[in-house]
């Protein structure tokens, strides 16, 4: 291949998308410069083809680096974008970059980012006769339209404003009402759900120089087995059929209308009725694009060459044969470990594949680096399983001298479940026969917490019934209860989603209805309190949720806007709540967690006072595990109807776990002695 004199800069994240571009260029005799955003170590950076690697914390820093280091080259450097964030950031700096670089663009500043709006994208596609699913645009602030069709699929209107976890299928209005209030994106695209036969892509590039314009789409990438975390999957790259040729003619007109110049992919769904539905265009290199290089159509090289000279022959780039392509590690984890296919089935697919998105015998270090990463994760999981803990809940009767006692008479809940544990209990109701509590139920098969209602026999403390009442795609815990006007509200911890949602709870139907986002920060174990003639949130928050700070917020309304009023600092790591405030002997008491040396090590009780707008706390007591089985921690304490509920932690395999800890302690001491001798 002809050598391109311009420096080529690949701008993307730690992903096989970026690696595919680097290898495509490397196989053409080019050693690109790599700018990696959002990481300080990368399997991508292990490629032998890279001439230099820069790590930046975000895309904006990447653009600053480009301007600082590469604006004085004799030939304009070429930038290839491998992520939506990189494409958008480059686009927003079009005016500053265009005098010095060749890069993906739409001939004016901000146009690519504008067209990343899925509704603008869809309307433009329809203008050029591309069929799209019926669509509605809704906002969290506005009522949901009555004319929606179910099932439907929701996704962020702008890709750069949301994540994969924001994509959901809703089967009825109740599903939609529940989900729409907890997604990240403020504006959401809702589309009719297409019963698909398969997904496919047109991966290509548009070249435009002083004299020529070409849109090259060599073939079709048809997904055989998709991943739940990306659009990358086991696929075949094949020639274009006659029906798809009609779509490609429309796609080319659509792309010209966007004015976009660069590498792209256009995604479609073929329904079981044979209709092709346009889904979206990606204004960047596609994660599956290395499949085309494997088939002999090196799009990154073709685009760079076309943007620097006039020797492109569009007719040369037409697929004649079919090849199979596999993202081997992703497919293994997404298909084999989830039992979609057998290991033997997967091995057969690997053997018959022509191209791998990670393994490459000519450039093997990225594969081994990533394999080493996954092996380390697996080893860590083995260690975690060996030291795996479980939690259970227990009950303690409350009386006036409760906090003066050195030991508690705890009645632990009895159950026979091996694949789940229960923690973070809050008492919902106490009847003549039962104690009903809300808990975090950590369910092993999904490896995350969900909120469940437990019905427990009041006399025997045996678990009678479990009702799962709230489950999301992210971890839920600490189902704090707020009672107001004969209604019950629950605001569980969901810091993984970055905000605190409060739900109205219908106890009769075990149904949650999102009321609002109570606070838009990743709060941890927040407690909404009304003890001080106002509404306060006592909470910790990410990233230091187990530290020595307690953040206090205030609002005029219980579901109003909460504003910070005070940050309390403790001498040690006791900032995190262990439950809601309670009254005892005329005192208002805050239960907290002792997180010194370990999360949820024990309980700390503070008397809390409020004078002239300032909170003060006085430590009253500390309590640590006393039970011979639940001896590894306790981190929740809640009181309702003269009954306290707590939780306790134990090792699931106590002998193995304690032996491992003893060995680890011995090794650590030995290392300290050896280090001392050496220093001496």
Task: Read off the DSSP letter of residue 335.
Answer: I
- Are 423 and 477 a contacting pair, CB within 8 Å? yes
Q: Which stretches within 70-110 are classed as H helix?
A: 84-92, 94-97
Contacts of 145 (CB under 8 A, 6+ apart): 136, 138
- The verdict on pTM exceeding 0.85 is no
Contacts of 485 (CB under 8 A, 6+ apart): none
Q: What is the pLDDT of residue 670?
A: 57
HEC per residue, 167-211? CEEECCHHHHHHHHCCCCCCEEEEEECCCEEEEEEEEEEEEECCC
Domain edges within the chain: 8-123+195-380, 134-192, 387-656
Q: Residue 667 — pLDDT band, cuts 50, 70, 90?
A: low
- The per-residue pLDDT of the chain, averaged, comes to 89
Q: What is the pLDDT of residue 671?
A: 54
Q: How far apart are the first and last CA of the chain?
A: 62
Q: What is the pLDDT of residue 178?
A: 74
pLDDT in tens, 314-358: 888 999 999 999 999 889 988 888 888 999 999 999 999 999 999
β-pair type (152-156, 187-192): antiparallel
Q: What is the pLDDT of residue 75?
A: 94
Q: Residue 242 — pLDDT band, cuts 50, 70, 90?
A: confident
Provide the token pair at 228: 């739940």
CA distance 180 to 186: 9
CA distance 256 to 111: 13
CA distance 254 to 386: 56
What three-state secondary structure class fits 278?
strand
Measured in whole angstroms, how far is the alpha carbon of residue 337 from the centre of its chain?
Answer: 19
CA distance 202 to 211: 25
Of the listed ranges 86-100, 153-167, 242-256, the least confidently predicted one is 153-167
Q: What is the average pLDDT across 503-511?
A: 89
pLDDT in tens, 365-403: 999 999 888 887 776 666 665 557 889 999 999 888 888
pLDDT in tens, 271-281: 999 999 999 99
- Third-level CATH fold of 387-656: Tachylectin-2; Chain A (2.115.10)
Domain 8-123+195-380, CATH: 3.30.470.20
**Sign of the C-alpha dihedral computed for residues 508, 510, 513 and 515 taken in this order:** positive
Of the listed ranges 129-143, 233-247, 319-333, 599-613, the least confidently predicted one is 129-143
Q: What is the pLDDT of residue 679?
A: 35
In the CATH scheme, what architecture does the domain 134-192 have? 2-Layer Sandwich (3.30)
Q: What is the pLDDT of residue 524?
A: 96
Q: What is the pLDDT of residue 147?
A: 82
Q: How far is CA 505 from CA 362, 451, 452, 490, 535, in A?
A: 59, 12, 12, 7, 20
**Residue 665 pLDDT greater than 80, yes or no:** no
Task: Read off the DSSP letter of residue 314.
Answer: G
Q: What is the average pLDDT across 396-417?
A: 90
Residue with tokens 């809050």: 426
CA distance 441 to 389: 14
Q: What are phi and psi of 116, to 5 degrees?
A: -70, -15
Q: Residue 640 — pLDDT band, cuts 50, 70, 90?
A: very high
**Residue 678 pLDDT greater than 50, yes or no:** no
Provide the token pair at 44: 């991508």
pLDDT in tens, 533-585: 899 999 999 999 999 999 999 999 999 999 999 999 999 999 999 999 999 99
């Amino acid at each position: 291949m002809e050598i391109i004199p311009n420096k080529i800069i690949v701008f993307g994240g730690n992903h096989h998308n970026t690696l595919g571009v680097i290898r495509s260029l490397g196989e053409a005799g080019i050693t690109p410069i790599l700018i990696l955003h959002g990481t300080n170590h990368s399997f991508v950076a292990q490629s032998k083809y890279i001439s230099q690697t820069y790590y930046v914390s975000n895309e904006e820093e990447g653009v600053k680096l480009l301007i600082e280091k590469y604006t004085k080259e004799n030939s304009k450097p070429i930038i290839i974008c491998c992520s939506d964030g990189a494409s958008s950031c480059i686009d927003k700096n079009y005016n500053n970059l265009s005098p010095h670089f060749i890069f993906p663009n739409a001939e004016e500043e901000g146009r690519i980012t504008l067209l990343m709006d899925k509704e603008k994208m869809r309307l433009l596609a329809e203008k050029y006769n591309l069929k799209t699913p019926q669509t509605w645009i809704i906002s969290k602030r506005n009522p949901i339209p009555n004319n929606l069709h179910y099932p439907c699929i929701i996704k962020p209107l702008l890709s750069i404003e949301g994540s994969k976890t924001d994509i959901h299928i809703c089967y009825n209005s109740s599903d939609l009402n529940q989900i729409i209030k907890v997604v990240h994106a403020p504006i959401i695209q809702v589309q009719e759900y297409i019963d698909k036969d398969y997904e496919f892509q047109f991966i290509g590039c548009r070249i435009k120089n002083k004299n020529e314009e070409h849109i090259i789409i060599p073939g079709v990438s048809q997904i055989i087995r998709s991943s739940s975390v990306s659009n990358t999957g086991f696929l075949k790259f094949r020639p274009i059929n006659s029906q798809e040729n009609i779509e490609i003619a429309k796609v080319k007109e659509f792309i010209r209308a966007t004015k976009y110049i660069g590498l792209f992919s256009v995604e479609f769904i073929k329904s079981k009725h044979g209709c092709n539905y346009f889904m979206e265009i990606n204004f960047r290199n596609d994660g599956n694009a290395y499949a085309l290089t494997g088939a002999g159509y090196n799009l990154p090289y073709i685009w760079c060459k076309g943007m620097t000279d006039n020797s492109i022959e569009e007719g040369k780039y037409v697929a004649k044969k079919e090849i199979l392509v596999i993202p081997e590690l992703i497919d293994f984890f997404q298909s084999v470990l989830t039992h979609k296919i057998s290991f033997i089935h997967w091995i057969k697919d690997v053997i018959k594949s022509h191209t791998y998105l990670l393994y490459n015998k000519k450039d093997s270090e990225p594969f081994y680096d990533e394999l080493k990463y996954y092996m380390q994760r697996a080893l860590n999981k083995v260690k975690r399983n060996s030291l795996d803990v479980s939690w259970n809940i227990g009950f303690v009767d409350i009386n006036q001298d409760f906090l003066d006692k050195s030991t508690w008479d705890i009645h632990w809940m009895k159950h026979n479940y091996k694949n789940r544990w229960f923690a973070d209990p809050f008492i919902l109701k106490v009847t003549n026969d039962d104690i009903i509590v809300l808990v975090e139920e950590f369910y092993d098969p999904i490896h995350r917490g969900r909120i469940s209602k437990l019905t427990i026999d009041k006399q025997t403390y045996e678990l009678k019934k479990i009702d799962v009442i709230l489950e999301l795609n992210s971890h839920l815990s600490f189902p704090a209860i707020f009672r107001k006007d004969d209604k019950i509200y629950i605001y569980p911890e969901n810091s993984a989603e970055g905000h605190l949602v409060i739900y109205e709870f219908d106890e009769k139907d075990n149904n949650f209805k999102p009321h609002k986002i109570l606070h838009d920060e990743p709060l941890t174990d927040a407690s909404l309190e009304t003890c001080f003639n106002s509404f306060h949130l006592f909470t910790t928050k990410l990233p230091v949720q187990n530290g020595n700070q307690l953040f206090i917020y205030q609002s005029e309304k219980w579901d109003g806007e909460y504003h910070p009023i005070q940050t309390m600092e403790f001498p040690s790591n006791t900032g995190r709540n262990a439950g809601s405030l309670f009254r005892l002997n005329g005192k208002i008491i805050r239960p907290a967690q002792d997180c010194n040396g370990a999360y949820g090590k024990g309980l700390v009780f503070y008397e809390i006072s409020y004078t002239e707008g300032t909170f003060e706390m006085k430590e009253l007591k500390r309590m640590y595990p006393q039970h011979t089985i639940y001896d590894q921690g306790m981190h929740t304490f809640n009181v309702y109807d003269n009954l306290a509920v707590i939780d306790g932690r134990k090792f699931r395999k106590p002998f193995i776990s304690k032996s491992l800890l003893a060995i680890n302690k011995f090794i650590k001491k030995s290392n300290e002695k050896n280090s001392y001798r050496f220093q001496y």
